[in-house]
Amino acid sequence: MTKLSVNINKIATLRNARGGNNPDVVQTAIDCECFGAEGITVHPRPDERHIRYADVLELKKVLNTEFNIEGYPDNRYMEIISKVKPAQATLVPDPPEVLTSNAGWDTIRNHDFLKEIILELKKSGSRVSIFLEPDPKQVEGALKVGADRIELYTESYATKYTQNRAKAIAPYLETAKVAKEAGLGINAGHDLDLNNLGYLIEQIPFLDEVSIGHALICDALYYGLENTIQLYRRQLK
């Protein structure tokens, strides 16, 4: 079954809005694991507008599931990976000032840069995943730079899902098949929710992991965190 990694950035955003430690980011991560999450994802940005460097260090001490740390591979990110040694390092191409991840890597244009970065990351023993648009050519590039997995950037799928879900999933299915044949693991994330997740899994049942944060936390306001995590896990079966 595809694993669910819960992105807890929004929990940190809520905490930071008032200062103090409410909600408690570390305790929330522990609770997510107890409620059925099979991984915890964070994206510690340089401005620390949600997850902070200190949060990452504290989370490392208590997590029992897979820890996935996303980020642009600047010096700060590389230092975090070297120190924390998470199960997975997910590379995203977004600069510090953007609101949220909004594009995949051009693995062909950035071949030399990514290859060097991935070699360094693997010294920490972390699996390396690269954020990608649904494009088979980029999969080939990801393989050449030494990635272990790709993460399909699913904003386009989510946006077009209500108009024509078969058309929306088509490029993702093609890209996923190419990645599977190449021996790469496949993750997915961005704008996935209870409405569109089930169809994604139905069409690409060999996905290794989905990383979901914003929609899941929004749903938890209505359904409760424990129930929401179970609702998402049911979509993955």
Q: By three-state DSSP, how is residue 189 classified?
A: strand
Which of 33, 43, 133, 209 does the annotation list as catalytic? 43
Which of 33, 70, 151, 209 does the annotation list as catalytic? 70
Query: Contact, 189 vs 149, CB < 8 A?
Result: no
The alpha carbon of residue 228 and the mean position of all alpha carbons in its chain are separated, in whole angstroms, by 18
Quote the CA–CA distance of 235 and 237 in Å, as a whole number. 6
Query: Contact, 204 vs 173, CB < 8 A?
Result: yes
Decide if 111 is catalytic.
no
Quote the CA–CA distance of 28 and 220 in Å, as a whole number. 12
Quote the CA–CA distance of 190 and 12 in Å, as a whole number. 18
Decide if 43 is catalytic.
yes
Quote the CA–CA distance of 76 and 61 in Å, as a whole number. 20
Decide if 190 is catalytic.
yes
Which of 33, 38, 190, 209 does the annotation list as catalytic? 190
Active site residues: 43, 70, 190
